[in-house]
A and B are shown apart, each in its own frame.
Chain A
Amino acid sequence: DAKTTQPPSMDCAEGRAANLPCNHSTISGNEYVYWYRQIHSQGPQYIIHGLKNNETNEMASLIITEDRKSSTLILPHATLRDTAVYYCIVRVDSGSARQLTFGSGTQLTVLP
């Protein structure tokens, strides 16, 4: 299973872009990169996912390097409510089971 490596914590000023890195050097060609976040005492919330191309939605942008060994989640204008643990995940498909393998994540703290 491809594993991910993230910094344990990061700070970001409110209103600035938050750039969260993730290394997944052993990712296979058909494995997707997912990002979820978890605000304290709540269930994880889906943010975005991608395979090869960069992706953007209303919450964030996902930049995947050409060799797919790393990616960056970008929150363009961080707010205090974006303070959470952010998980970079490589999705493993075993038959029809889609298993999300979570690591320890990055604690993002948005500072006023």
Chain B
Amino acid sequence: ETGVTQSPTHLIKTRGQQVTLRCSSQSGHNTVSWYQQALGQGPQFIFQYYREEENGRGNFPPRFSGLQFPNYSSELNVNALELDDSALYLCATRPGVDSNEQFFGPGTRLTVL
């Protein structure tokens, strides 16, 4: 158990819809990263938030956006869903921007039909 929770655990959407995924971290973990993991592949970095601002982004289009709240919880929003967005979405938190270990949540399984 890492103390990182994600909701919902599973979600089914249709193409073109929008989705919001949520992540809550351990107390004091002020940095959160989001990853997308397609079936059979390793996780791919989407972006990182620190002190409520995005401060790093992977190779994902702008329809992937996020928020971090004052309590350090976080949201991942995906607009105009495509079939290829079907994946496990993972958030990972750490206690500081300089800390070495990231603590991953169990993920949200998104299926786009």
Contact = CB atoms under 8 A, between A and B. Distances in A.
B101 A46 contact: yes
A43 B106 contact: yes
A70 to B, nearest CB: 19
Q: What range describes how many residues of B lie at the interface?
A: 20 to 34
B42 interface: yes
A108 B68 CA distance: 36
Contact of A104 (B41, B47, B58, B101): B41
A102 B58 contact: no
Contacts of B57: 97
A71 B84 CA distance: 33
Contacts of A30: none
Contacts of A96: 50, 55-56, 97-98
Interface string A89-104: 0000011111111111
Given A43-B90, A95-B56, A49 B100 contact: yes
Given A43-B107, A46-B101, A98-B97, 19 more contacts: A32-B100, A42-B106, A42-B107, A43-B90, A43-B106, A44-B43, A44-B92, A46-B102, A87-B42, A95-B55, A96-B50, A96-B55, A96-B97, A98-B56, A99-B45, A100-B35, A101-B45, A102-B44, A104-B41
Interface of A: 32, 41-46, 49, 87, 94-105
10 contacts: A43-B2, A43-B90, A44-B90, A44-B104, A87-B42, A94-B56, A96-B50, A97-B56, A98-B102, A102-B43
